[in-house]
Chains A and B, each alone.
Chain A
Amino acid sequence: MNLFKFFLSLIITIAMLLLMDPRSFYGLAFHEWAGLIMGLFFILHKILNWGWIKKVTIGFFRKSTGRARFNYILDILLLAGITLMILSGIAIARTIDFSWLNLGGSRMFWRVMHTSSSFITLALFGVHLGLHWNWVLQRLKIKKVKNGKEN
């Protein structure tokens, strides 16, 4: 399961980087479809870590450590960023027709929202990876798991 989580995270990271520039990889159609699929992968990532989310949510003000709280807040910000990214992406989509959704707002607003949310989310992604670096090293067998406790 951990290996699956690792590869899922790796795919999300690579996809996120490729999607940062719509011109970089097979054009806008790829950008839009891959963006939507990445959203699904992100939801899957959350489902796979549901145990941790539940645990920290229940004990946020009592049991959780400072580190867990910080990670939790960071994850909420990431979730908000991804949601805004996908929502704004849907609003400005060109190759997929989402006009039936009637999201309102000017196209310019959604474009700026798409750029800003993706830039902020990429930075948050970087921080998220940094805070889970030990977990990554454990998956790559570079670092040993201490006392059966994983990061």
Chain B
Amino acid sequence: MVKKISFFILSVAILVMGIIAFSKLSYWDRSVRIFSFSSAAPFEGRMGRGPGGGEFEGRERSGGRESRPIPGMRERNIPDSLRQQFGTRDGGRMGRGPFEGGIRNGEGRGRGEFPEGKKINLRNVVWFLAVFTSFTVIAIYLDKAYCLIRKRKVK
């Protein structure tokens, strides 16, 4: 009985963590984004400008959400080189060249970049793990409930 109760408490804790991670990662929004994606949206026509130059890359912020282009930037007819310059000055939110493994200072890290000297940063992975395990726990208990119902029906 003690074992069962402790497992139940552990499951509840996993579920709570999962719910927090789910909202923190904007899991639902990012999962269904593809279904509401419109190719006629403001990003069309930016293809083929070279590696990253002028393209919106949807780079992730430290919070895990995809960033948006700086308002007004697109309307201005600025050359790619200037765009890149703006990008670096403004926290690196604009498109840049391919990943170079560069080190940046400050919080707002781009894709594939790390704070100085750090190659492993598992903070976001822990949130993903929380979501993953909560789905596992839900499936385990639903499966158990289904088996129980089936057994009762057979009896």
Contact = CB atoms under 8 A, between A and B. Distances in A.
B87 interface: no
Contacts of B131: 122-123, 126
A61 to B, nearest CB: 20
Given A28-B112, A94-B51, A106-B39, A17 B129 contact: yes
Nearest to A27: B112
A98 to B, nearest CB: 13
B2 interface: no
Contacts of A23: 60, 109, 111-114, 121, 124
A130 B138 contact: yes
A21 B64 contact: yes
A119 interface: yes
Contacts of A22: 60, 111-112
B136 A112 contact: no
Contact of B58 (A21, A24, A112): A112
Contacts, number: 141
B128 A21 contact: yes
Given A94-B99, A116-B31, A119-B31, A26 B120 contact: yes
Interface of B: 27, 30-35, 37, 39, 41, 43-44, 46-47, 51-52, 55-58, 60, 64, 66, 98-99, 101, 109, 111-114, 119-125, 128-129, 131-140, 142-143, 146
Interface in A2-56: 13, 17-18, 20-29, 31
Interface in A107-151: 107-109, 111-113, 115-117, 119-120, 122-123, 125-131, 133
B132 A125 contact: yes
B115 to A, nearest CB: 10
B112 A115 contact: no
A33 to B, nearest CB: 12
